Amino acid sequence: MHLSKPIRNIILIELFVPVLLLTIGIYHGLMQVIYRAGVIHQSSFAKLDYYQGLTLHGVINAIVLTTFFAVAFGHATIAFHLKKEPNYRASMLSVCLMVGGTLMAAWAMLMGKASVLYTFYAPLKAHPLFYLGTALLIVGSWVAFFDWVTIYSKWKKDNSEVNTPLAVLGTLVNFTIWFVCTLAVAYEVLVLLIPWSMGWTPTVNVSLTRTLFWFFGHALVYFWLLPAYIMFYTILPKLAGGKLYSELAGRIAFFLFLLLSIPIGVHHQFGDPAIGRGIKLTQSILTFGVAVPSFITAFTIAASLEYAGRKRGAKGLWNWVWKLPFFDKNVYLFGYLINGLILFIFGGLTGLVNASYSLNNVIHNTAWVPGHFHLTVAGPVFLAILGMSIFMTSQLTGKKIFLPKINTIVPYLWTVGVLIFSTGLMWGGLLGEPRRTNLGLTYLNPESELYNPYWVITTMLGLAGGGIMFAAGLLYFIVFFGTFLSKRTAEPVIDFPISEVYHTEKRVPIFDTFRPWLVAMGVILFMAYVPAIMDTLNNNGKKAPPYLPTDPAPVISTIEKK
């Protein structure tokens, strides 16, 4: 499909800006494993403090990159499937808000005024522009979404008896989740934290801010994941040379995500005081509910791939696996997606440990946790983003991929790296190695009283794996920027490979309408979260003034000074 030049450019900016920033994120990923392994015993390196860098790493990799990509991919998906371009003014406003917000937050972080990590837990205080910038980034993504909703409503009026294309359904479900969950964090940031960080209100309820953050924080991980799921369902089977086993399964999975992605955020707060055990247990159990759509997806995708392998002449029980086009540079996207799926098997299983209520005590906030989520967000999510960003860039600029062979091996190299890296971190976590800690200064410093020799091997594994990940990241940058800078050889277009469906299925109206699902979503959310919020309001007995990360004494607010 042909897209007008301004829309193409907006999408390209939404790919280019976050990937440019990602260079900082990946650089500091490498630095983190170096510090943590005790290779250097310093609080900062090349003018970048460990925790400042970790904030950049979390915000850029997990929030900026993922949000920009979801919007860019959403624009392309909606336009391609509904054959209608997004509105220029809305898209322009959206990208300006997102870029502007990102620049504000980046400034605050790079100036060292916001070293509070990407969770910005109060009462640690960041510069107001850090909060405002993040909020604008989010609002910008809403604007794009509102525009898609208008396009979709018009389309649906004309096509009321036609199934909404699965990719469009997935995109709309994803941004509905995103819109609802970000309302909580927008409230936290705009109503509670900005006035407090400006000194207009003296104190905040820490338990409440944490609970609002995690109302958003867990759904955030599904917001990362669903673009990858859309690719698994609608693109991967085609790349493999087969068909999608069942489209209905995809619809069911997406609607289950709509119901269950948000009301489980308290599973990040099992160790928090002020929230009752009943709420924690309920949300722990609901978390297992949200594993069901992932099981469904695993089966559907495996069945689709098996079909592809057999079409390519596979015999016997397992031979189909080896018939898939792993190293075919013409379908390099297959390599990115399949490696993500392989990592996700381990990511999903380790996630079940985290979700299991009291079992969470074994691993909460240890190195296990980053070990786990580099198998998810730095696994299927990140690899899908890398592969698709190259695919879209090449198509939207009409340029050939720079170094296509290198491009084909990037996901394999990355996967090997992550597997080693995560083994190290998860093992360390089981031995009590804390996350979010500059281990090189104390725990991995033989000169320090706190030195712990058990964590030498685990952090060394992290270093080895992290080094490989860094190398893969570097190769990706060469391919991505190389493609951007090369000469145009074709007409710019956007054409996604689209999987046909294996079963011919009748349209099931309930899986092609939003209203009843939205109502159910609201009801579940209400029941799961009203008690949690009430608990934080009732059980937290003292509000907290702001603190800078560098100073044990609170920041005196302007109100008190007067």
Indicate which residues carry an active-site annotation: 218, 222, 372-374, 435-436
207 binds other proteins (CB under 8 A): yes
CB of 362 to other proteins, least distance (A): 5
SS (H, E, C) 153-201: HHHHHHCCCCCCCHHHHHHHHHHHHHHHHHHHHHHHHHHHHHHHHCCCC
Q: Exactly one of 234, 261, 282, 360 binds other proteins (CB under 8 A); which one? A: 360
Which of 360/407 has CB closer to other proteins? 360
Q: Which is nearer to Cu ion, 77 or 437 (CB)?
A: 437
Which residue, 97 or 381, has its beta carbon nearer to ligand HEM?
381
| The two three-digit tokens of residue 493, written as one number | 């277009």
State the virtual CA torsion across 144, 149, 151, 157 in degrees, nearest 10: 180
Region near other proteins per CB under 8 A, out of 120-128, 313-321, 403-411, 492-500? 120-128
Q: Which is nearer to other proteins, 20 or 352 (CB)?
A: 352
For the CB of residue 541, give the shortest distance to other proteins in the complex, in Å: 3
Query: What is the distance between the alpha carbons of residues 382 and 390, in angstroms, rounded to a whole number?
Result: 12
Three-class HEC string of 288-351: HHHHHHHHHHHHHHHHHHHHHHHHCCCCCCCHHHHCCCCCCHHHHHHHHHHHHHHHHHHHHHHH
Q: With binding defined as CB under 8 A, does residue 434 bind other proteins? A: yes
Give 8's strand partners: none
Among 61, 102, 163, 366, binds ligand HEM (CB under 6 A): 61
Residue 156 interacts with ligand HEM (CB under 6 A): yes or no: no
Return the number of the residue (321 or 352) whose C-beta is nearest other proteins: 352
Residue 45, phi then psi, degrees to nearest 5: -140, 135
The answer to whether the CB of 206 falls within 8 A of the CB of 261 is no
Where is 353: in which H helix or E strand? helix 332-355
d(Cα 268, Cα 273) in Å, to the nearest integer? 12
Ranges within 417-446 binding ligand HEM (CB under 6 A): 435-437
Report the candidate in 107, 109, 116, 384 with the shortest Cα–Cα distance to residue 230.
Answer: 384
Strand 44-45 and strand 48-49: pairing?
Answer: antiparallel
Q: Residue count at the site for ligand HEM (CB under 6 A)?
A: 26
Minimum gap (Å) between residue 521 Cβ and ligand HEM: 26
Query: Can you tell me which of 128, 199, 370, 546 binds ligand HEM, judged by CB under 6 A?
Result: 370
CB of 531 to other proteins, least distance (A): 11
Answer for which of 130, 270, 414, 470 binds other proteins (CB under 8 A) is 270
Q: Is position 377 an interface residue for ligand HEM (rule: CB under 6 A)? A: yes
Tell which positions 516-535 bind other proteins, by CB under 8 A: 535
The smaller minimum CB distance to ligand HEM, of residues 30 and 353, is found at 30
379-418 footprint of other proteins as x/- string (CB under 8 A):
----------------------------------------
Q: Select from ligand HEM, Cu ion, other proteins, none the partner in contact with residue 277, using the beta carbon and a kind-dependent cut-off of 5 to 8 Å.
A: other proteins
Check: CB of residue 199 under 8 Å from CB of residue 558: yes
In the complex, what is the shortest distance from the CB of residue 449 to Cu ion, in angstroms, rounded to a whole number? Answer: 17
Among 7, 71, 186, 275, which residue interacts with other proteins (rule: CB under 8 A)? 275
Contact pattern from residue 22 through residue 41 relative to ligand HEM, giving x for each residue in contact according to CB under 6 A and a dash for the rest: ----x--xx-xx--x-----
118 binds, among other proteins, Cu ion, ligand HEM, none (CB under 5 to 8 A by kind): ligand HEM
Q: Which two tokens stand for residue 303?
A: 């069945």
**Per-residue CA distances from 138 to 79, 179, 185 (Å):** 21, 9, 10
The answer to whether the CB of 130 falls within 8 A of the CB of 110 is no
Q: If binding is defined by CB under 6 A, does position 350 make contact with ligand HEM?
A: no
**DSSP codes joined into one string, 206-230:** HHHHHHHHHHHHHHHHHHHHHHHHH
Residue 313's binding partner, choosing from other proteins, Cu ion, ligand HEM, none, with beta-carbon cut-off 5 to 8 A by kind? none
Select from 17, 24, 54, 333 the one that contacts ligand HEM (CB under 6 A).
54
The CA angle 46-378-429, to the nearest 5 degrees, is 80
13 binds ligand HEM (CB under 6 A): no
Residue, CB closest to ligand HEM: 29
Nearer of residues 127 and 280 to other proteins, judged by Cβ: 280
- Tell me which of 470, 496, 514, 517 binds ligand HEM, using CB under 6 A: 470
Query: Is the dihedral angle over the CA atoms 86, 89, 94, 98 positive or is it negative?
Result: positive
Binding interface with Cu ion (CB under 5 A): 218
- Of residues 100 through 119, those in contact with ligand HEM by CB under 6 A are 117-118
Helices (H), 398-548: 404-430, 455-485, 515-539
d(CA 301, CA 289): 20
How does DSSP classify residue 87? Answer: P
Sole residue written with tokens 């057999």: 310
Residues in contact with ligand HEM by CB under 6 A are 26, 29-30, 32-33, 36, 54, 57-58, 61-62, 117-118, 370, 374, 377-378, 382, 435-437, 462, 466, 469-470, 473
